[in-house]
A = this chain, B = another copy of it.
């Protein structure tokens, strides 16, 4: 911050057909693209040509027959798709969402190390704890574990996975054919982790990837989520409706990081924006109206019920959002609060709220010209509310191009965004250092591990 050369970072949130709930019904959309690799390959190539930092895939571990009835459900498991994209792209970062609640640390650490090798150091992990009963019910639970308990498990999960990623030092491989020594066994570590949730001996069965470990991304903005992010996250996705909220979140997160002895620039904050772009504002509004027209309130209501963990089906659409029960939100806490506040602040009917959420699901939606959108981004970026943005095109076919062809050049003209990649790894794109290794004799940078350890104890 204050750095003359500070530029913003752009992540593309790949909702395959578009972030809007009705995107799949739009005339420009081909719903068969959902499972069409060539489509993803083209999309990645375009984002890479525009020099975006990264592609990102969200994830959920459940669906229902009814959700599939109205929504374009059932795309690829994120790491599978990113593994394939890794070998047809060269520079763009590849971020996959995986849940700490429903995976094993050894398997997850190994898959990300594999992707990091495969991509030459472009792997990132969006760490989630998952928030719905429907997901828990695919993994032996009746109900989603409690919020604090999920974050407790997530902390230990990160402790174990970072140990696994450190278990081979950067220079462990010797490959001395003459002597018959493949690896320096003093640089390959069993660590015998034993904790509340996990007992893992190590080492990992794949050597350390080019980045040391994947870029660690986090997206939960509750109190538990923030404290977790302050300890571990190197990039943070967040949904913020207003500049004021975004600025306050930004300040809070940087402060928390500093309190844990981390450098504030090592936590890159990326609010989401859902742009609908027209060459004129009127054209943009028309595009927006078309998407509203294609929306199905019954489906939107189902999705909202699922998101906030409270059944709203049957509530009158032209009344206000009903009062939710007072108890603590067990599922997606921060998003639920954001939605309730949005409805109250703007005094929205349920129908209006659904329309607002259909596109952004709580993220800021901006309908306007490339200049208007760039103005908002510049304002947030220069005034302590963002280090970059998580871009969620409402339509992928058409909407993505609008952003890449119209907004990105505008940001470049303003000197706000790179015109060439300067690094080769995802970490380098985000301006983050190569991480240290807790097992190495002379740790290159012990900063993060130290602070993590402190945050955990």
Contacts and interface: CB of A to CB of B under 8 A. Distances in A.
Interface of A: 22, 24-25, 31-32, 35, 37, 41, 60-66, 68-77, 79-81, 83-84, 86-88, 102-104, 106-107, 110-111, 113-115, 117-118, 134, 137-142, 168, 172, 175, 177, 180-186, 188-190, 198-203, 205-207, 294, 296, 299
Nearest to A160: B138
List 8 A-B pairs, minimum CB-CB distance, nearest first.
A83-B83, A65-B185, A80-B114, A69-B185, A68-B183, A137-B201, A65-B188, A77-B114
A178 to B, nearest CB: 8
Contacts of A207: 35, 74
A71 to B, nearest CB: 6
A43 to B, nearest CB: 14
A300 to B, nearest CB: 12
A142 to B, nearest CB: 8
Given A102-B107, A139-B200, A203-B63, A114 B81 contact: yes
Nearest to A102: B104
A120 to B, nearest CB: 9
Given A61-B205, A102-B107, A103-B107, A118 B84 contact: yes
B62 A205 contact: yes
Contacts of A115: 80
A255 B64 CA distance: 41
Nearest to A188: B65
Contact of A202 (B76, B138, B177, B202): B138
A64 B190 contact: yes
A35 B117 contact: yes
Contacts of A75: 206
Nearest to A172: B68
A76 B206 contact: yes
A207 to B, nearest CB: 5
- Central interface residue in A77, A142, A202, A203, by most chain B CB within 10 Å: A77
Contacts of A299: 180
A54 to B, nearest CB: 18
Contacts of A189: 65
A67 to B, nearest CB: 9
A205 B102 contact: no
A125 to B, nearest CB: 14
A60 to B, nearest CB: 7
A185 B84 contact: no
Contacts of A138: 106, 200-202
A71 B31 contact: no
Contacts of A182: 24, 31, 68-73
- Central interface residue in A24, A141, A172, A185, by most chain B CB within 10 Å: A185
A294 B72 CA distance: 56
A134 B205 CA distance: 11
A84 B189 CA distance: 29
Nearest to A80: B114
A364 B49 CA distance: 52
Given A182-B68, A198-B140, A206 B87 contact: no
Contacts of A117: 35, 76
A203 B65 contact: yes
A94 B134 CA distance: 32
Nearest to A209: B35
B84 A25 contact: no
A37 B87 contact: yes
A69 B183 contact: yes
Contacts of A25: 177, 180
Contacts of A184: 69
A181 B296 CA distance: 10
Contact of A80 (B60, B118, B199): B118
A104 B99 CA distance: 13
Given A87-B84, A102-B104, A77 B206 contact: yes
